[in-house]
Chains A and B, each alone.
Chain A
Amino acid sequence: MELDLDKHLADASASIGGAADLDALSVVDTDLLGKKSVVTMAKRGLGDLEPDQRREMGGRLNEARATIEGLVAARRTELEAAARAVQLEAERMDLTETDRGRRLGHRHVVTQTWDRLEDLFVGMGYTVAEGPEIEDEWHNFGALNFPLGHPARDMYDTLYVDYGEPQSTLLRTHTSPVQIRVMEAGEPPFYSIMPGRVFRSDTADATHMPVFHQLEALVVDRGITFGDLAGTLEAFTTAYFGEDFTTRLRPSYFPFTEPSAEFDIQRPDGSWLELGGCGMVHPEVLRAGGLDPEEWSGFAFGFGLDRLALMRHGIDDLRELFRNDHRFLSQF
């Protein structure tokens, strides 16, 4: 039987084109190119032909096979693309429906401020020291050069607790007792900050809380001067608030520093803000910490930490920090 290859190719092309999906194409593929396909069978029969005829026929068959393979492959690509398009369409999602509400929690603004300050001072070569919130009278007052009955004790509205002798134990009114604990615990030089929680007998209002936070710094080394204090405060201020902020010191009074000063910062708009207190560590305080004031000198400064948190975010009421309203906490 004479094989009409042209017709066969036309038929093959039609059946390949007619394969509706990949499964159908695979059947057609087997049909046209498998062991029992016309082309395969014809090739197997080439041995019966004369050499010339065999060469010619062989060439045509190979050509036909390649053509069919090409058609199948093209159809497969086509069908695969269509199947993928269907699949992808079936997977279509509206992403605006699908916020599953995964969220990070929020560090309290006081903690954020605390950590920023710690990082800044660690970068300036300071360590971070801590002390108890319930203190003894000696560390909070006596060692800081407030003798018993000293009128300056009135500057602090102290809360005492029922522990030991009456008025022997109190809620620390400032972070300064940690200065003494640092001096007791180690040997100078000291470059430390002492962030912490402090207490006063204050009725809560927009600027007062019975509980709040301070950050104290203590430097004790050989040859520390008042100029070092002023320069350190300036360096801290520009690092924390920005290059366009500056500081000034005004004489003030604290029993545990001398000379003592208030330090103010000047905002870029020219206005001044009282930030905290500072001074050279009083010789009596160095002595209370077991140090010789002729050998060592130092400075200390302290300020309210909460207020920095309020300033950063424009919060106008200190009480918000301690109300723990989710609508507040989740803003920061």
Chain B
Amino acid sequence: MKVLLSWLQEFAPVDGDPAVIGDQLSALGLAVESMSVVGEGLDGIVVARVLELGPHPDADRIQIVQVDAGDGEALQICCGAFNMSVGDLVPLATLGTVMPDGMEIARRKMRGEWSNGMLCSPVEIGMGEDHDGILLLDGTLDVGRPLVEAMGLRSDVLYDLEVNPNRPDAMSVAGVARDLAACQGAPFTLPSPEVAETGGNATGRLSVEVLDPVLCGRFAARVLDEITIGPSPSWLANRLTALGMRPINSVVDVSNYVMLELGQPSHTYDLDLVAGSAFRVRRAVEGETILTLDGIERTLRAADGVVADADDTAIGIAGVMGGASTEIHDGTTSVALEMAWWDPMSIATSARRLGLRSEASARFEKGADPEVADLAMRRFAQLLGESGATLAPGMVDERGETPQREPVRVRTDRVNKMLGTDLSRDRIADLLGSIEFAPEPAGDDLDVIIPSFRPDSATEIDVIEEVARIHGYGAIERTTPRSTITGSLTQMQVDRRTVRTAMIGMGLDEVMPIPFLAPGDLSRAGLEVDGITVTNPLVAEESVMRASLRPGMLATLAYNASHRMTGLGIFEVGHVYRQPDQPQPLPDEREYLAVALAGRDAADAVGVWSALADALAVRNYGLVADDPPGLHPTRTARIEVGGAVVGHVGEVDPGVLDAFDVPERVAWFEVDLETLLGLPHGDKPYAPVSRYPSSDIDLAFEVDDDVPAAEVERHLREAAGGLLVDVALFDVFRGAPVGEGRRSLAFTLRFQADDRTLKDAEVSEVRQGCIDAVQANLPASLRG
């Protein structure tokens, strides 16, 4: 919503430095998005008449314009706009003028043709947004006069305000003025124009019937006669222009002016064209059609509201757009003026479906003031009276349902408890009264009648917000509550940090790919799951929620490789989303850790896992050869912790790497963090360090290739018993003299007792037991 300071001042004597007023508006919740001073810096701009238009010999986008700048002589200007005709009056920045943006106008050649000044667009002189065309001036202005003088401009301040959706009242100049006056302690008054009435009474000249009282809370109609369609006076056109609306003609401009000023949209019908002079407000018949003002035939739905005539033919879409059949035109003499209150939901639905959101529908759908019509009608008549129109006596005023406005009990104690203030009942009453909330004392408390222009406000807390707003958020003393609980992270949150710290410690960089995938990304990654699909994706490439971190990680490696960054080690901690096995309210969503080591092999991935297991004190885990989809079939193992599968470690399937354009081998490790961290871990019981010497023995076995080293180790551990404190695989050897299909696995075992030095005999007994156990249970033989 844009407002001019001069316009605000018509309602209240608000004053002050423009920047201070801007801060006050922001502090009232009407955030100032921009502020500009208009009507300044326009010295040197004069009214000029277009005498002749002709093409530029060397440029298509420039034309040669001859103008009269007041001396009757033709002055040549090169101009990049084409919206003017011969005879139009236009603003001319004469030579030497310094424009508001600081540019100085000088005589110069444009593609070989002299230009002796510049014709100005609205935006160049701060009189609107339009920068495509030259501002066309009121044809009655004096040619050659300075523009400011000719148009009666004065220096003014234009604020562009961001109005929250709960404040339809602030979508009017009067509404903004009301708030600002309350803030400044200035009196606010709505004008009450007295307009002479003449002619036949409206009650005898038209009829209104509200057939759907939910759709239409109020339909008020009056009649204006002696209509002449012509341009608006320049002061009115200037204000519309400043607020971003294009002047069209006297009737349309007055309608827009009243809407901007008081927030009440209106619609005008050529009364002679309304069949039976009847207005019947009803819902549309499904499939009913209407030719709207913009010349488009629209098909309506049963939910849309229409205004129909005596023949029950729709002559307008309620609150959205009028019909072409009753549109005012140059020959119109009498108009029916409609000012209505429409059900916000109905208007919102129709306007959105028809793609016809306008300044009017925006006000209706947020909730207009159902009680301002009388005033707005008189204001309309007063303004249109300037062009000779007369107001007929009488008003036809039919009502449907509007929101109930019961008084709201506002407890003084509650206000202060919510805000942390110490306001008296009477102070609260004063604050509310300043914005026309009507408070009546009720003991220590207040019963407040909420004004009709504040549909957002209906409960005690709504009124408390108004108290806070007018009192000033900044005036409320700041206090900081001491938390009455102990701040902490959950074990899961602590563990998640440990996971990241471990990954960082291993030199891995954390990545954060977006969790959207393109259809087919999951199958390209070799995965046999369906992701959850997005119903309304922005683009197809972001239409599937990831069911695995793998596609995003591989795409990250491919992106970096394509920029000559290879050999990266990366990890991600993030959510994956899957269809659940059993019906449940929400999809299966769980947190995963994934690690990709480009240019390295499965052994490195195993190293990352075992370091993580160490960091989290996960014990009792094992790796079991496995070939899950998308991973390297002969270089992958599933990770089991206490028998539960928590993830996989190995390498990515080379075919998948090709599909993702990853040029290197990729070691891979992924773990379901929620499952892993839900299993026993982190327990670090103290074991006393033995003070007795330890004994090491080395054992090397020749073992079939398909027997996992972990199996040999398991048998060694079982046979060694409690004296074993450590076992490590320190050498793997293939080739002669070891037989084909077998390899040598060499282990070091360390034995130690807590209470004595081990005797040689003891150690060799355990040693023999270990050898026997491996040889008896596995296709393995001790190497000599």
Contacts and interface: CB of A to CB of B under 8 A. Distances in A.
A and B pair up = yes
Contact of A151 (B366, B538, B568, B570): B366
Interface in A285-303: 297
Interface string A199-234: 001110000011100000001010111111011101
A133 B576 CA distance: 10
B419 interface: yes
A155 B165 contact: yes
A108 B513 CA distance: 11
Interface stretch (B143-151, B462-470, B664-672, B737-745): B462-470
Contact of A162 (B461, B481, B535): B535
B190 interface: no
Contacts of B514: 209-211, 322
A201 B539 CA distance: 10
Interface stretch (A29-37, A51-59, A251-259): A251-259
Contact of B532 (A121, A134, A210): A134
Contacts of B484: 125, 189, 191, 221
Given A128-B490, A210-B516, A230 B476 contact: yes
Given A151-B366, A160-B535, A161-B545, A322 B485 contact: no
Interface in A251-278: 251-253, 258-262
A329 interface: yes
Nearest to A327: B565
Contacts of A111: 500, 510
A47 to B, nearest CB: 51
B331 interface: no
A132 B481 contact: no
Contacts of A126: 483, 487
Chain A CB count within 10 A is highest, among B27, B468, B507, B589, for B468
B348 interface: yes
Contacts of A115: 497
Given A106-B510, A155-B165, A227 B476 contact: yes
B487 A121 contact: yes
B487 A127 contact: yes
B480 interface: yes
A219 B481 contact: yes
Interface residues of A, number: 85
A105 B513 contact: no
B7 interface: no
A126 B504 CA distance: 27
Given A102-B507, A108-B511, A235-B480, A324 B532 contact: no
Nearest to A115: B497
Contact of A223 (B345, B417, B504): B417
Given A122-B487, A226-B420, A197 B461 contact: no
B61 interface: no
B587 A169 contact: yes
Given A111-B510, A324-B560, A133 B487 contact: no
Nearest to A162: B533
Contacts of B348: 151
A67 to B, nearest CB: 47
A230 B473 contact: yes
A235 to B, nearest CB: 5
A164 B542 CA distance: 20
A82 interface: no
A122 B29 CA distance: 32
A257 to B, nearest CB: 9
B474 interface: yes
B356 to A, nearest CB: 16
A321 B485 contact: no
A282 interface: yes
A108 to B, nearest CB: 4
A103 interface: yes
B488 A122 contact: yes
Contacts of B516: 210-211
B365 interface: yes
A127 B488 contact: yes
B481 A221 contact: yes
A161 B532 contact: yes
Interface string A241-253: 0000000111111
A289 to B, nearest CB: 16
A313 interface: no
A258 B480 contact: no
Contacts of A105: 503-510, 569, 571
Nearest to A158: B536
B382 interface: no
Chain A CB count within 10 A is highest, among B167, B512, B568, B570, for B512
A160 B534 contact: yes
Contacts of A314: none
A134 B515 CA distance: 12
B192 interface: no
B483 A124 contact: yes
A326 B509 contact: yes
A134 B448 CA distance: 42
A12 B364 CA distance: 121
Contact of B483 (A104, A125, A134, A210): A125
Contacts of B497: 115
A226 B418 contact: yes
Interface in B680-704: none
B164 interface: yes
B473 A249 contact: yes
B185 interface: no
B486 interface: yes
Nearest to A119: B489
A159 interface: yes
Contacts of B508: 105
Nearest to B568: A326
B189 to A, nearest CB: 24
A253 B512 contact: no
A128 B489 contact: yes
A189 to B, nearest CB: 5
B31 A329 contact: no
Contacts of B28: 251
Nearest to B511: A324
Contact of B587 (A107, A134, A221): A134
Given A126-B487, A248-B474, A326-B568, A166 B535 contact: yes
B482 A125 contact: yes
Given A125-B486, A321-B512, A322-B513, A104 B474 contact: no
B164 A128 contact: no
B556 interface: yes
A253 B166 contact: yes
Contacts of B167: 253
B365 A151 contact: yes
Given A105-B507, A262-B31, A203 B538 contact: yes
A212 to B, nearest CB: 10
B249 to A, nearest CB: 32
Given A123-B487, A134-B589, 13 more contacts: A105-B510, A125-B482, A125-B486, A134-B532, A149-B345, A162-B533, A189-B483, A191-B484, A221-B484, A227-B419, A231-B481, A325-B559, A326-B509
Interface of B: 26-29, 31, 164-167, 344-345, 348, 365-366, 417-421, 459, 461-462, 464-465, 468-469, 473-474, 476-490, 493, 497, 500, 503-516, 532-538, 542, 545, 556, 559-560, 563, 565, 568-571, 575, 577, 585-587, 589
Interface of A: 102-108, 110-111, 115, 118, 121-128, 132-136, 149, 151-152, 155, 159-164, 166-167, 169, 171, 189-191, 197, 201-203, 209-211, 219, 221, 223-228, 230-232, 234-235, 248-253, 258-262, 280, 282-283, 297, 321-327, 329-330
Closest A-B pairs by Cβ, 7 of them: A125-B483, A227-B420, A251-B29, A225-B420, A253-B164, A231-B478, A231-B480
22 contacts: A105-B503, A105-B571, A108-B510, A108-B512, A111-B510, A121-B487, A125-B482, A125-B487, A133-B515, A134-B577, A190-B485, A201-B538, A210-B516, A227-B478, A228-B420, A250-B31, A251-B469, A251-B473, A253-B29, A324-B512, A324-B556, A325-B563
